[in-house]
Structure 1
Amino acid sequence: MTRTMTSATRHGERRVRALATDEASTSEDVRYHAWRGHRVAYRSSGTSGPAIVLVHGFGVSSYQFRDNIEALGERNRVFAIDLVGFGASDQPDVAYNMEFWRDQVIDFVENVVGEPAVLVGNSIGSLAAVHVASASPKSTSGIVLINCAGGMNNKVKRLDGDFDGYGLQYKAVVPIFSVVLAIIDTVLKIEPIAKPLFNSVRGEENVRGALANVYMDASRVDDGLVKSICGAANREGAFKAFVNILTGPAGPRPEELMPNVECPILILWGSKDTITPLDFPLGQYFFNLEKTRVGKKTDFVQFDGEGHCVQDDNPKLVNEAIGTWVAGLP
């Protein structure tokens, strides 16, 4: 069922949790789970109802779910994790890929949540949810994809086939930039060059400017959000993690994984997303998925006037959509 929702509720009442704005060890809200020798930070809310696991996007953390955790926790058991490499989780010098985060989420569901969960992801968090649903059906009772990414980084994989006509633009664009991406990879691996670049990128002014280009509501780009990102980026392992993630493989695209996904899917998309635009092939693939995914529960909701991080930019819209959808699952 395709629905279009406006942002008329943008200025509705919001309740903000008092989450940490620097390292997670300073926050009473944060708990830790051990996985492969790494500390995984997470926050939780709610004591009963279906389990929901929130998975953030690139460069941010569970802080971006600051107004979703408690609201969804009123009727559900809610967990918001920091992917390894981001937020308050460990930032090891390892080979990052989508399968790495997939395995982290699967382990979290099995050993912390203790039952199949609805995975709610934004951007690469959505892609991680698709990976989990494809590889471990027993871990997922449903997935909610908020402006899903096509790969772990900008090196979006070239499509081998024409997925219902949506592969053409990527086939045309990716070869043009393949040389540029190779150069960027090489530069990032030269620390004397990459480190000053990273130091510039993680500065509060640059982070605030980057967020202002993504968020529709300027008031949401506040000190708490900026410091949650800069605090993580100033930790000891942040630079190596940054380089390894940007130079790692983009991984399989969601179109390739989707045939193995059997669980219900809710797709939420901001119409003004400039990172994964709705009118680009990836956006159109998801827009049409409820028509092509025959016999499997698939719902698409378009948020008019909203951007890439709508769960934080206008949380009331997203909380209502997710809450209603989860309540209607078998």
Structure 2
Amino acid sequence: MFVIAAVATTLLVAYSMTWFRSKIKLGGKHVIITGGSEGLGFSLAKEFCMKGSHVTIIARTKSKLDQAIVELQELALPEVRFQALTADVTQYEQMQAVVQEAEASFGPCDFMVCNAGATHPGFTGYSAYAPTKYAVRGLADTLRNELQGTGVHVSIGFPADMDTPCYKGEELIKVARGFVHGIEQGRYHLPSPDIGQDWFIMDGTASWSPRRLAQSPCDQKANTTSSYWQDPGLETDIHGVNRVPYRDQGWNFWNWENHRIHYVQAGSSGPPIVLVHGFGASAYHWRYNIIELAKKHRVFAVDLLGFGWSDKALVDYSSNIWSDQIAAFIKEVVNDGPVVLAGNSLGGYNSLATAARYPDLVKGVVLLNGAGRIEDVQTAVEAPVAAGLSSTEKEVLAAIDPADFSDAGHTASGMTRQNSASRTNSSSQSSASQTAAPLTKSSKEQTSFLQQVLSPLATIAKRVAVYGSFVLTKQPSRVKQVLQQVYIDKTNVDDDLVKSIIRAAEDPNAAEVFYRVIGGNSGVTGGGASVNQLLNKLDNKMPMLLLWGDLDPWIGPGSAARVKKYYPKADRVGIQAGHCPHDEKPAEVDRILVEWADKL
């Protein structure tokens, strides 16, 4: 099925993209090519290498693979990595092993290219051979439907007749160049730049959008949402509580704006719930909630761009980037809205922003100690932050969520961290839940901690400070220490949680992303819509639940009271927990969340 032979060649291509919406950047992508030691497979390997992709070629004959590697070394860019692995594609165990080995070396696969020989319809003498190749088309169509919503797109390329051991046709390099060019351009029917005729089709018939996928007449509803996804798994922690086990490779991936976005999915039926993590955390932070919520709901926990297993993209983290991502995720992956959208800390702000900007996609929003700048009023008394830490250490608390937030919060998506004068003057107060009458205060006076520390610094000095903060924060002992400061019950501050945070911080781009998010490019120190503005857009019509850890030392109950003041429709439920009530008191949070969602 995957060996190049005969008159024409069919390319069965699987890649992490729901459909082409714009040009694709191939640099740094991992491409796995079967039949990659010679013929079209090897020509494709050369083209991808010259585009900056990391390439794994798979074939049966080691000697041919060795020769292919020698040639690739002469062509590839200095930063490109490539490898050759031996396997027979007809042997499932071998293929499973080599793909795992390939991903262990170069990371998750972005493009899988499988080569199969094919013939023209009705080609004399191939009555037995040709039908087997028609099966490739059927396989692609079936896989395309089965993988709907998983972020994996399946397509077939039908190039022109080409040079093979059995046939004299177009030069392989021209065919390969057209194939790679088609992927880059996001086009599936394109004229040949060399031959002057339409010779290459990437066949995505009726399936480039998952909303247009063919459906089974006997089960149309089943195909309106994802049918196949990586099950999150199940384990029991040392206290006998069920949760999602940690997986270093992550779970599911989806392509958004040419960025690889990670998510966890569970549950086969019920109204959808989308969970959004806080700053520095990931979808894994919902490990105790996913399993329980999935008993009555379809559950999706998504990693924001720049965090968790999602790409650490070097982009401008503007005020709307994450709400745009969440909205696209609901439309393209969940594909069954409107949803209940729940977020913790930064995720709370972004859930609110998504509901305000895309109200048709959200039927209810849940804020779990949601961050965000609240203008004009403030709580007079909140507990001090991280007493005893140096200014640099306080600054880096943001690395694990949400770090030195005042009651008004922190913004990576334009969310501004407000440092209230009352907090800086309340070090003698001991009650995190104590509140006082609201005080008026101009937005100019609401200066964040980062502004106070970093605004006097030049750009270079600021970058050094932030990078230094990041290096300090990502140490395992430091991560655990800060987590323990915001968890009142520290039972669930375990090695797996720390590992999930450290893993993201080890990405080569992580420090720069951290700088861009909190160092000015994201609007952390002043930009973005305030919570007030977002609430006003909802016009007191959207159902809202303020599910608050009332013992949070950073975003205490005063913040929930202010949101309730501006948005009377909101339901308010307090829990005796810290900043991450969903992970600290998961059973209580799950029960409250399900009961509230079921009433919508």
- TM-score norm. by structure 1 comes to 0.84
Letter paired with 1:249: G
Deviations 1:254-278 (A, max 9, x none): 1111011232111111111111111
Q: Give the structure 1 partner of residue 323 of structure 2.
A: 102
In structure 2, the residue corresponding to 1:68 is in which secondary structure? helix
Q: Give the structure 2 partner of residue 182 of structure 1.
A: 455
- Paired residues of 1:12 and 1:316 also in contact (CA < 8 A): no
* Cα distance change of structure 1 residues 176 and 302 upon mapping to structure 2, 3 Å threshold: closer
Give the whole-Å Cα distance in 2 for the aligned partners of 1:208 and 1:186.
30
Correspondences of 1:288-299 after superposition (within 5 Å): 288-289=565-566, 292-293=567-568, 296=569, 298-299=570-571
Q: Give the structure 2 partner of residue 6 of structure 1.
A: none
Gap runs ≥5 in structure 2: 1-237, 373-409, 421-436
Q: 2:510 aligns with which of 202, 222, 238?
A: 238
1:71 and 2:292 correspond = yes
Letter paired with 1:286: V
* Cα distance change of structure 1 residues 321 and 13 upon mapping to structure 2, 3 Å threshold: farther
Q: Which of 194-203 and 210-219 deviates more?
A: 194-203
Query: When the two structures are aligned, how many residues end up with a matched partner?
Result: 299
CA drift at 1:46: 0.5
Task: State the percentage of identical aligned residues.
Answer: 33
* Cα distance change of structure 1 residues 38 and 260 upon mapping to structure 2, 3 Å threshold: same
**Whose relative contact order is higher, 1 or 2, with alpha carbons under 8 Å and at least 6 apart?**
1
The CA RMSD over aligned residues, in Å, is: 2.5
Correspondences of 1:306-325 after superposition (within 5 Å): 306-325=577-596
Q: Give the structure 2 partner of residue 301 of structure 1.
A: 573
- Paired residues of 2:416 and 2:530 also in contact (CA < 8 A): no
In structure 2, the residue corresponding to 1:224 is in which secondary structure? helix
Q: 2:362 aligns with which of 115, 140, 156?
A: 140
- Paired residues of 2:243 and 2:290 also in contact (CA < 8 A): no
CA drift at 1:152: 1.1
In structure 1, the residue corresponding to 2:487 is in which secondary structure? coil
- TM-score norm. by structure 2 comes to 0.47
Deviations 1:113-157 (A, max 9, x none): 112111010001011111111111111011111011013158436
In structure 2, the residue corresponding to 1:168 is in which secondary structure? strand
Give the whole-Å Cα distance in 2 for the aligned partners of 1:152 and 1:73.
30
Q: Give the structure 2 partner of residue 278 of structure 1.
A: 557
Runs (4 or more) in structure 1 with deviation over 2 Å come to 11-14, 153-159, 165-181, 183-191, 193-197, 286-289
Q: 1:60 aligns with which of 258, 281, 284?
A: 281
Q: 2:536 aligns with which of 233, 238, 259?
A: 259
CA drift at 1:252: 1.4
Q: 1:205 aligns with which of 471, 477, 490?
A: 477
- Paired residues of 1:56 and 1:82 also in contact (CA < 8 A): yes
Q: Give the structure 1 partner of residue 196 of structure 2.
A: none
Give the whole-Å Cα distance in 2 for the aligned partners of 1:77 and 1:283.
28
CA drift at 1:200: 1.6
1:127 and 2:386 correspond = no
Give the whole-Å Cα distance in 1 for the aligned partners of 2:261 and 2:439.
36
Q: 1:216 aligns with which of 482, 488, 504?
A: 488
In structure 1, the residue corresponding to 2:501 is in which secondary structure? helix
Q: Give the structure 2 partner of residue 17 of structure 1.
A: 244
Q: 2:417 aligns with which of 152, 156, 169?
A: 156
CA drift at 1:186: 3.7
Letter paired with 1:314: K
Q: 2:258 aligns with which of 37, 41, 57?
A: 37
- Paired residues of 1:212 and 1:218 also in contact (CA < 8 A): yes
Gap runs ≥5 in structure 1: 1-10, 160-164
Give the whole-Å Cα distance in 2 for the aligned partners of 1:82 and 1:53.
11
CA drift at 1:284: 2.4
Looking at secondary structure, tell me which structure has more helix per residue.
1
Give the whole-Å Cα distance in 2 for the aligned partners of 1:62 and 1:140.
19
Deviations 1:197-252 (A, max 9, x none): 32221010110101010111222110000000001101111111100110220321
In structure 2, the residue corresponding to 1:34 is in which secondary structure? strand
Give the whole-Å Cα distance in 2 for the aligned partners of 1:53 and 1:106.
11
Letter paired with 2:242: R
Give the whole-Å Cα distance in 2 for the aligned partners of 1:283 and 1:167.
16
Q: Give the structure 2 partner of residue 249 of structure 1.
A: 523
Letter paired with 1:321: I
Q: Give the structure 1 partner of residue 548 of structure 2.
A: 269
- Paired residues of 1:166 and 1:284 also in contact (CA < 8 A): no
* Cα distance change of structure 1 residues 51 and 201 upon mapping to structure 2, 3 Å threshold: same
In structure 2, the residue corresponding to 1:213 is in which secondary structure? helix
Q: Give the structure 2 partner of residue 3 of structure 1.
A: none
In structure 2, the residue corresponding to 1:258 is in which secondary structure? helix
Give the whole-Å Cα distance in 2 for the aligned partners of 1:146 and 1:189.
31
* Cα distance change of structure 1 residues 184 and 55 upon mapping to structure 2, 3 Å threshold: farther
- Paired residues of 2:243 and 2:289 also in contact (CA < 8 A): no
* Cα distance change of structure 1 residues 176 and 245 upon mapping to structure 2, 3 Å threshold: closer
CA drift at 1:167: 6.4
* Cα distance change of structure 1 residues 12 and 182 upon mapping to structure 2, 3 Å threshold: same
* Cα distance change of structure 1 residues 310 and 117 upon mapping to structure 2, 3 Å threshold: same
